[in-house]
Each structure stands twice: as C-alpha cells, then as structure tokens.
Chain A
Amino acid sequence: VREPLISKFVDDPESLSEAELSELLESLRQDPELVAKLKTHLELNELLSRRGAERSDLLAQVEYRVQAEGAQGAPLDPAAIKVEAERRSGRLERPAVPQWAPSLAAAALLVVGVLAYLLSGGPESQLGGAQSSAPRPSTTPSSTPPPSRTPTPTPPPSPTPTPPPSPTPTPPPSPTPTPPPSPTPTPPPSPTPVETPTPSDSPTPTPSETPTPSLTPIPGSEDRGPRVLSITGRVRVSEEGAPDQALVVGALVSPKQTLVAAADASATLAYSDSTTLTFARGAALRLEQKPKRVFLQDGVLEAEVAKQDRDMVLVTPHAEVRVLGTRFVLDAQESSTRVQVDSGRIRFKSRSSRRSIEVPAGEYARAARGARLLARPVRAAQGLLVLYTFQAGQGAAIRDRSGRAQPLDLKIESPQAVTWLPRGGLQLRSPAQIVSERPAKGLVEAIVPAQALTLEAWIRPSQSRVPGTEIRRVFSLSLGYHDKNFQFGQLEDTFAGLVRPNLGPARYDLLQSAKKSARKRLTHVVFTRDRSDLKLYVDGKLSSSKPAEGNFNTWDRRFFLRLGGARPGAPEVDSGATSWLGTYHLLAVYGRALSTADVKRNFESRF
C-alpha cells in the first residue's frame, strides 16, 4: 500500500490528494525508516533529474535574477543619484547599489562623489594640448570651432557605435572603480599653431555641422596622446581644479582630463599611428599617464587599434583589455563591462577575479563581479528587422535597436502596468498595451517576399502554466486580438507561434513547443517559418516542428506590432484575458528563418 503512495509522492507531490497526503503522513509518523526511505528517493530523484536537458543552469539563472531585479541593497544617496543622472543628461539612472558588502557600497559612493566633484567644477581649467593656454570665451562653452588645417578626404570612423544588447550578467560594482588621477602635468602648448583651433563665437553647432578633420601625424606628438578628430553633440572636458569646458576638434587630450559625452553625443580621438577611439552615449573617458593606457569609467568606446609594438591597454572599473592591433567595442556599464571584438583578438581581464581570457573576432565577453568570464558569440545580424533589448530603465518608449534606417519604436500606453527592472528588462505586472508608433509596414514588406520569418524572445513567464485555451500574447503583428499576421505567446505550459497563411479567414498555422517547456524562468524561445516548415526552439534546442501551409501574400500592411495584452475593456478585445504576464529581456524579428546554428548562436550569445 505504501509503495505506490511513496512513488507517487516522489514523482509529483502535487498530484496527491489531501486524503492521500494524510495517509502518507500517518504512515511516516509511525515508521521512521519509511521517512528515511522516502528522503532517499527524493534525493535520488533530484540527482537523476540533474541529468535532464531541461535542467537549467542555476548560476546563470541567479545571475539573471540579480541583474534583472537588482540586489536590493541600501539605496544610494539621493544627491549622488541626482549628480549621476544629470551627468547622463537625465536619460539614464544609476541602479541601486547592491549590498554585497558595506565596503563596496562605500567605494561606489566615493566614486560618485569624486565624479560629482570633477563635474561640478572648481577653479578655472584649461583644455589640454595646444589650445590649453589660450583663454576661452566664457560665452561659448559648447562651441566647436573648426580647425584651421585643410581637411583631407579621410573619413572618420563611425561616431556612434551601437553595440548589441547587453546581457549584463550581474553583481556589485567593482571595489576599485576609479584609479587615482594622473600626476602627469598637462603637456605644453603645441609648437604647431596650425593645429590650434580658433575659438568661435558661433552658437553650438548641431552634430551635422561639426567639422571632421583628417588624421594627420603631428611631428613630435607621438608621446603626447591623441587629438580630437571629430565630435557629435556635446562632449565636455573636465580637469581637477578647473571648470568644465566643451571639448573641441583638434584638441590634444592630456592625461589629467576626463572627457564626458552627453547621452546622445560621441567623439573620436585619433593617435598619430591611426589608432582611433570613439566614445559615445554618456561615456566618461580619461587617458592615464601613458598615452596608450586609457581608462573608461563608463559608457561605450569603439576602438580601432593600429598594430602596436607594445600592448595598448584599456581599463574599466571591471576589466582590462590588452591589444596589439584590432577593432573592438568596449561598453562599461554600472556593474559590468562588455567587449565585442570585430577583428583580431584581444586579452580581456576581469579586475575582480583577476582571470583573463582571449576574445576572438565575432565574439564578446562581459566582466562583472561574481559572473563567469566567458567569450560568447555575437548574435546573428543578417535579416534583422527589429530588436528590443529593454535597457531604457524608465519612460514610456521602447527603442528599436536593430540599427535599421527606420526604427520601429514602441510606446507603453499603460505605464502603470509595467515595471522597468533596475538592470534591464521590462516586467508586465498586469495587462498592458504596448504598441508600435506606426503600422509595421516594413516588417510585412520584408517578410512577405521572403516567405520566411523568425520571432525570437528572451522572456521570463510569471506562470509556468497559464489557464484557458487562448494564446497569451507575448507579441504579435496585429490590428486587434483577432486580426493578426503573426503572434507569439504562451499557451498553457507551452510556447506557441502562429502565422496567417492565405488559406481563408481565421485560418492560422499554429505550432506549440513540447509540454512543460514554458517554465517560470528565463527562457530563450525562437519560432521560425520558411516555405517548408514551422519550428520552435527552446533554449537553443529544437522543441517541435511541422510542415508549413500556404503563403503570406494576404498579409495586411496596416497591422501594428503589439506586446502583452490589451487593457480590460479595450475596444478591440473583450477583456485583458489574453494578456501574457512576465518579463521581457529581448524581442527580435528577422525577415528569414534562422538556421539551427543561428538559433544556437543567439542562445549562447544570451542578451
């Protein structure tokens, strides 16, 4: 009598009725050996379950949770938050500092304090290099005067690198975020007056008006450091004991200066050996004592490093990059630093663990306290139509980060129903209306000729099983709930992809993943459809497939891209019952069916 009951309990304790549980409890109370036996089976059951492919990587899940939900440590000093927010032009907020250890929190506050001091001004400063001795008109702090030398056709590198989404593994800030200011004095004025930019009384130029001079080697300047090659938007230069000033094209950057780009600005520095550093999006950068040693406090830096005799070193609060000649993008964020290598190979070292790895071309790595230092493949880019990474942290807009000419941004119409997670991710707590700002005509125009598409999501459902027989919408291309070109969502304990072929009204081609594949955990789900098959992949592995029917020729170009479900009472839906609830970390649509290798690559790339 006991064996079936115990075996049923071990297999699924939730399946026992109350009467069965009472019976089991009574048996256990009477027989301590039976308790030991049951415990053995439960533990062995767990040991056997670890062999399963469905078992998640616990560490990755924990890293994800800390990243997504924040460490809930002591809140940062409000004044420090304000300073940091202002520094980032009010577009980004510093997440709360995790309470990993009080000393780390203190170190983080100290860094912000130092930064606040640096940026709040002090005695009058001078711009570095050639023009530093010239008095600067106080009425034109942000002007960008043109250099007097003749421009050559050499094009500057892209001023606004757009690195792929950030997985942001996790934890607390580095205990040693800011190296001490360099004691090296500002270099003397340049002996070549032709290089000195002329101050101008003209108003601040728009990005398109900013001149972009060529990179001409400057005799005798090799040991001094880089010059400013181009600027887009507002970039400030701050120096201890001097007020902030606008960075100008042609300026020679000296070690004592910290260069800070506004959230929508970028600047390119060029060394005489053709090495260029482009920093953008709120980046704060400083040259250390040696000209080829650069400290990136925060933000994105794209480097194109000419072949070097000795390693060029780029340092962030979390990592160190050594390079002899390559092209890569470095992105220093609040709690981690990401590097993506486009060509060549770099050595990437975590400053917290002291471990280092080589990152080859086509891969990226992230350094953060407590996270594994791994080189991961860069996501598939071919055929990408829209990409949302949910990194904004605030506001009602979700930006399309695909890099396409006409991005399809989304608008959160029910902001009270969502929560931006402190380190990335958007949580839908109740039915919310999130809709593209215009019809997603571009998606239809790319997908219909190809007769193929991919819908990709990194999500965390709030329920392993949703009730009802309707798909809970994660996202769709639709007019309302009932008129759609495609839809992706959760159906009971599965993920479901659905497309509308030309087979008559209300005929949809539906594919569900394997049972129990929808779990309350971070999951990568990809739905593909080409001329022959529909496929669903869960966590990089094929979960289900079936032959495709019909074509997409009757797709409607007026439909909008929609996330979540409609608000209760919305006109096009009877209720919010179709809403999926959970957390979004990445959504992408491709105008082709990703191959199995592409899916695996995007899974391994994380987000």
Chain B
Amino acid sequence: VSGSIAEQDFAELVRSTQGRVRAYIAGMGVATDEVDDLAQEVYIALYRKSDAVPEGVELIRWLKGIARHLCLSHFRKEGRRAKRQRVAIARLLEQAPDAFALAEADAEDASERALKGCLQKLPAAKRRLVELRYERSLAIDEIAKDFDKSAGALRVQLHRIRSALKSCIVRTLAEAT
C-alpha cells in the first residue's frame, strides 16, 4: 500500500475512509465534539508518514491503529479527569464488534442512506428531537427547556430512538443484500 499512496489522490483516500475512521474514534468513547479533531490527526499522520504504512497492510487497518493510539493518548492527556476509567472503557469498547461492520466505503454510504430512510419513519416529535440534537447541534439542556422535560429524561428518550434506528438500519441493510 505504501508504495502506491504517493501516486493516489490523497483527497480520495480521505473521502473513502473518513466515515469508518470517525466511527472507530467515536466507538472508543471520544466525545462527539472531539471526534473531528482526532480524525484530523489521523490523516495528518497519514500525510506525513505515508511511507510508514507497511507493505501489504490494508490502509483502513493502519488508520485505525493510528486512531487507537491517538484516542488512548487523548484520554491520558494532562489534566484530564478519570484517565484510568476512560482508558479502561476504551479498551473494553475496542474489543466489541463494530455496530454496522462497515468494511467498505460503499457500506458506509449504504448505512447513511439507510439511516436517512429510517429517520423518515420516526414519529414527528421524535424526528424533531433528533433534528434539534444532531442537525442543529443544540445542547441537551437547551432542548430540555423547549420540551419541558429534564435533560436526563431527554437523554434516555434519545437513547431509545437510537435503539430503534439501529434495528431499522440493520433490517434495511439486510434487506438490501
């Protein structure tokens, strides 16, 4: 792989792998706000050390290896609270299987399409909650004021919505294959 990276379009490499890299970082327990920052570091490392990708190693595996290292360093950073617990949780999470087994960029696109369809099937109030939290990026506390509920209750509601969406996505992907 390393020998051919220089000849490939770096932009295309980022485009075709970023979804899986982001999912991997998030799956290690990194806060959503910080997933982007760490994903940037992964691709900067690829850019600077493309010749360090061993021959015969699948690029996405190499990227995930870098991401793993960065995530653990991130949790161990100076001043971070509960470092030991965060690292231990990350190590448990990395052993668990990926939610959607996204092996290829095509599968990545398929899961995004499936998610879009599944969101359409949600009742209007739940869709509104998802929109406020994820598309408009409002904090739970702010949404809680609008919905006249506690932040904790809204988090649990979002948790159940995600569970329903997961089942729907898995079903949709299975039907597609």
Q: How far is the CA of A464 from the CA of B11 in the complex (A)?
A: 27
Q: How far is the CA of A544 from the CA of B148 in the complex (A)?
A: 24
Q: How far is the CA of A18 from the CA of B81 in the complex (A)?
A: 7
In the complex, are the beta carbons of A52 and B135 less than 8 A apart? yes
Question: Which of A4, A61, A73 has a CB less than 8 Å from the CB of B152?
Answer: A4
State how many residues of chain A have any CB contact under 8 Å with chain B: 72
Which one of A41, A63, A71 has the greatest number of beta carbons of chain B within 10 Å?
A41
Determine if A40 is an interface residue (Cβ-Cβ < 8 Å): yes
* Given A7-B155, A43-B99, residue A101 in contact with residue B85 (CB < 8 A): no
Q: How far is the CA of A303 from the CA of B81 in the complex (A)?
A: 59
Q: How far is the CA of A233 from the CA of B15 in the complex (A)?
A: 46
Question: Which of B93, B98, B158 has a CB less than 8 Å from the CB of A35?
Answer: B93
* Given A44-B166, A353-B9, residue A13 in contact with residue B99 (CB < 8 A): no
CB distance from B82 to the nearest CB of A (A): 4
Residues of A contacting B49 in the complex (Cβ-Cβ under 8 angstroms): 99
* Given A13-B29, A35-B95, A46-B35, residue A21 in contact with residue B155 (CB < 8 A): no
Determine if B145 is an interface residue (Cβ-Cβ < 8 Å): no
CB distance from A350 to the nearest CB of B (A): 10
Q: How far is the CA of A102 from the CA of B135 in the complex (A)?
A: 43
* Given A6-B159, A99-B51, residue A51 in contact with residue B11 (CB < 8 A): no
Which residues in window 34-90 of A have CB below 8 A to B?
35-36, 38-56, 58-59, 61-63, 65-66, 69, 71-73
Residues of B contacting A6 in the complex (Cβ-Cβ under 8 angstroms): 159
In the complex, are the beta carbons of A38 and B33 less than 8 A apart? no
* Given A42-B26, A50-B112, residue A59 in contact with residue B15 (CB < 8 A): yes
Determine if A25 is an interface residue (Cβ-Cβ < 8 Å): yes
* Given A28-B92, A49-B134, residue A102 in contact with residue B155 (CB < 8 A): no
Chain B's closest residue to A101 (CB) is B6
Which residues in window 477-528 of A have CB below 8 A to B?
515-516, 519-521
Q: How far is the CA of A61 from the CA of B36 in the complex (A)?
A: 9
A/B interface sample: 26 pairs, CB < 8 A: A8-B152, A8-B155, A9-B29, A10-B155, A12-B31, A22-B85, A24-B85, A25-B85, A39-B98, A41-B162, A43-B100, A46-B22, A46-B23, A48-B130, A49-B134, A51-B135, A53-B135, A58-B14, A62-B44, A65-B40, A65-B44, A71-B48, A73-B48, A99-B48, A104-B6, A464-B33
Given contacts A58-B36, A58-B40, 11 further A-B contacts (CB under 8 A): A12-B32, A21-B82, A42-B93, A43-B26, A45-B32, A47-B111, A51-B135, A53-B137, A54-B137, A58-B18, A58-B39
